[in-house]
Amino acid sequence: MMKLNFTYNVSPRRLLHDKTVSGSLDKMRRAGVKTIYLFGYFYGSFESEPEHIAKAKKVLEDEGFATGIINVPLGHGGNALDPTDPNVNLDIGNGWRMTMDSMGRYRLNTTCIDEVMMEDSKKANLIMYEMGFRSFFNDDDLRLGQWGPELQGCFCNYCMDEFYSIVGRKVTREDIVSMKDSELCEAWMSYQCEKIARFLLVTTPKGARNGIMVMHNGDRRHGIDIPLLRKLMPDNLVFRVGEAHFDDNAFANKEGYESVERSIRRHMALVGDHSICYSETTCYPKNALSPENWIEKMKLEIRCGLRNLYLMSGTWFFEDPHWDALERALPELVYLADTTA
């Protein structure tokens, strides 16, 4: 039976220069964290200087932690990293294109997947690969739509022209989003999903493993085709499931709790192999999910069959109450994992 595995992520520069972070390594260790991913490439820029990433890797490995890289490849459409920090950079990479919605409006801090951004992202990952990183993850902005039932994607002029060439005729944005033509809808979803798949194939260094965080109830309407990704990357792609419900109001009620559970189980079933599924045990924004509900979410995830628990808090750092709560709950969580199928 697979043992419980805890993963967290931190900023390299904060690890090196902020004693709140560097002084908490032992707390994280006592709370069961064995792997720490470092912030890497955020929609066109390194979150920390590459030399800081390399130094932070050594610090963590000297402390006995396994390491990886977490990227934010496309942008969330705003400051979804830390709304209390006005200095968060929201500009996408030089020469990168913003996505457009179905009304033809630009969406700030979002990226259209094209050759330029894929090449830049590939080069960034290769730099980190050469530092010795072999495990990468992408945040849940690796999608081409927002939460909801609508048919989504990037509707910029470039994407529309490319789609015309695929379907062999000119169609309007309204033709697509009206969802009246099922064949057209399927072609549009395939086009968007193949862009996400190609991004992963192009940007994953040979010999490395990558990961995608699947949006809550995300599917082909949002550019996320789990069966396609499993087929194309059967041995070097992992999946994070159970996204959303980051705060007490969303989670601490029956409807929210059951919604998380359904999404986790649905995506795990599509992945098939539970050993490559990770939780999204997220508290966001700062302290929005109480330590008690944070632990309850872990119990739900374990009962759903997850054994890789990925703890996340945007770019802010979990404070003592959360680590203390996890340390206290650790024996119970381990027992639950060992005794639950």
pLDDT value of position 112: 98
Alpha-carbon separation of residue 110 from 27, 189, 243, 282 (angstroms): 36, 19, 19, 22
**SS3 assignment, position 206:** coil
Asked if omega into 285 is within 30° of 0 (cis), the reply is yes
pLDDT value of position 216: 87
pLDDT value of position 250: 85
171's CB contacts (< 8 A; 6+ apart) are: 163, 164, 184
pLDDT value of position 169: 96
pLDDT value of position 72: 98
**SS3 assignment, position 105:** coil
**Cβ atoms 177, 102 nearer than 8 A:** yes
Read off the pLDDT of each residue in 104-131 and give the average, rounded to a whole number: 98
The answer, yes or no, to whether residue 257 has pLDDT greater than 90, is no
The answer, yes or no, to whether residue 85 has pLDDT greater than 90, is no
pLDDT in tens, 162-211: 999 999 999 999 999 999 999 999 999 999 999 999 999 999 999 999 99
Pairing of strands 308-312, 281-282: parallel
Count: domains in the chain: 1
How far apart are the C-alpha atoms of 226 and 219, rounded to whole Å? 8
211's CB contacts (< 8 A; 6+ apart) are: 135, 136, 137, 138, 237, 238, 239, 240, 278
Phi, psi of 107 (to 5 degrees): -110, 110
Residue scoring higher pLDDT (1 or 272): 272
pLDDT band at 93 (very low <50, low <70, confident <90, very high): very high
Residue scoring higher pLDDT (225 or 252): 225
How far apart are the C-alpha atoms of 145 and 235, rounded to whole Å? 26
Element of type H or E holding 72: strand 66-72
pLDDT value of position 8: 99
How far apart are the C-alpha atoms of 304 and 323, rounded to whole Å? 23
pLDDT value of position 118: 99
- Domain CATH code at residue 15: 3.20.20.80
Task: Report CA torsion sign: 194, 197, 199, 202.
Answer: negative
The answer, yes or no, to whether residue 1 has pLDDT greater than 80, is no
Closest CA to 308 of 100, 5, 58: 5
pLDDT value of position 75: 98
pLDDT value of position 99: 98
Read off the pLDDT of each residue in 245-249 and give the average, rounded to a whole number: 88
How far apart are the C-alpha atoms of 59 and 128, rounded to whole Å? 16
| Highest-scoring range by mean pLDDT, 46-50, 212-216, 259-263 | 46-50
Per the structure, the complete domain to which residue 328 belongs is given by: 5-339
The answer, yes or no, to whether residue 256 has pLDDT greater than 90, is no
